[in-house]
Amino acid sequence: MATEDKNSATAAAILPLVGGAANVGSIAHCMTRLRLGLHDRSLVDDEALKAVPAVMRVVEDDTYQIVLGPGTVARVTPEFERLVEEGRAAATAPGEATPPAPASASASADELAAQGAAMKAARKAKNATPFKLFLRRIANIFVPLIPALIGCGIIAGLNGLLVNLGWLTSVTPALAAMASGFMALIAVFVGYNTAKEFGGTPILGGAVAAIIVFPGVANIEAFGQKLAPGQGGVLGALGAAVLAVYVEKWCRRWVPEALDVLVTPTLTVLLSGLVTIFGLMYVAGEISTAIGTFADWLLSNGGAGAGFVLGGLFLPLVMLGLHQALIPIHTTLIEQQGYTVLLPILAMAGAGQVGAAVAVYFRLPRNQSIRRTIRSALPAGLLGVGEPLIYGVSLPLGRPFITACVGGAFGGGFVGLFNQLGDKVGSTAIGPSGWALFPLLDGNQGLGTTVAIYAGGLLAGYLTGFLATYFFGFSKDLLAEFDVAQEPAESTVAATGGPTSPPTKEPAGV
């Protein structure tokens, strides 16, 4: 089947299972997930969705998220949007939703799927705190920027390689412009997205944030110092746009309707702009500088230990929803230094998961259901998409999740050690992980050295995760419970990377 036909077929299969075009309120996608705002969650057929060949998993959060994997999601989303528009146009009555397709019969008795789903639901309930919801909003500002960060990051890496080799000298200046143009104006995009996320007029948020990168601010003095274009970076842009939203909302309440179109935009830009120039740029600049200085100090002085802790704790941070606080930090480091030294260390958490999953595969030779899940989810895990392995294998089993974190800790410690020795390993973009991060690697040494250190970290994570899980990941009771032959059945996980959810049972003991 041609790629376009395959993507169209995937979109066509998904649409009726989420309640049809009339049930879809919003459509977006990130690196791996199709994110849908749905009017009526009860119209969704979760089990049938998991059986769609391209679907790795489904996640219910503030939006309904269908995990399709990197690359695939960017191709399926336009097809899905087209089908939704066609469905709305053909609808005879507004608000009438297409009935979902009948649920397919459950094809897998994998008990881990139910436990993983139960744990995920419990995690979601615990994560719905005001602070974590705020972090999620911050993440929503930066996630749409990831494709541009990746594209520009890869071009920057290619340009650096050509410059070092002395090749295509007439082309490298153009590549440098392509790679740097977005980063030079990233504050504007952050301001636009921030205003949109917090309920203001997006273009006003972008207009206020644009002040930060305007070259003319070099002629302005604040706190006894001359300002510099870009001072404050993305943090300043975020603060300026949030302020603009509050000013705009105040104006909407008090400015007469007849004057609103003239007065509200003017006061929003004027008042927010003055505070940005004479306050936020300086304060945010100091904070941004402190973040960069602290990251350098942390890895220069405690690299191995810091990498061990960061690599080992990243997955628990993800489970708690606290990892979203790292996104502005990554972006600030990329803006300041050209790469973030934290992401390659945190990516080692996925390596630990892969090693642990392989160990589970060998420790449960009779359980064909779990082994099928691992075989189908492992390629995605190698590319940094860890949900199928986490929720389908290691987390429900208990101990393997802990030993996977141990693998991530050793991989992070390996990369951190080389940072401490002066060989920085960074990523020019955020989003990808695992093998998908190789094209985005950068550092203060040659590309070969940087790639070798990152690859060594992955191998350390794989090996330690495997050994820790193989020898310490199973108690006798756990082996007795799960290393049993399963009833032969056609498993949906072979195509989806995510098993169906059978009746629940108590989670496996740690």
* Active site positions, annotated: 30
Structure tokens belonging to residue 82: 């087209």
Distance CA 78, CA 464 (A): 41
Structure tokens belonging to residue 268: 């929003």
* Nearest alpha carbon to residue 358 among 498, 469, 495: 469
* Nearest alpha carbon to residue 351 among 374, 379, 381: 381
* Nearest alpha carbon to residue 240 among 280, 278, 202, 268: 280
Hey, which residues does 427 pair with through a beta bridge? 340, 441
* Nearest alpha carbon to residue 372 among 186, 498, 262, 507: 498
Distance CA 222, CA 273 (A): 13
User: If residue 31 lies in a helix (H) or strand (E), which one and from where to where?
Assistant: none
CA distances from 12 to 17, 25, 69 (A): 9, 17, 17
Burial class (CB in 10 A: 0-12, 13-18, 19+), 339: buried
Distance CA 350, CA 369 (A): 22
User: If residue 460 lies in a helix (H) or strand (E), which one and from where to where?
Assistant: helix 447-472
Distance CA 223, CA 212 (A): 16
Q: What is the Cβ-side half-sphere exposure of residue 253, based on CA atoms within 13 angstroms?
A: 5
User: If residue 37 lies in a helix (H) or strand (E), which one and from where to where?
Assistant: strand 33-38
Please give, one letter per residue, the 3-state secondary structure of 362-422.
HHCCCCHHHHHHHHHHHHHHHCCCCHHHHHHHHHHHCHHHHHHHHHHHHHHHHHHHHHHCC
CA 72 to chain centre: 15
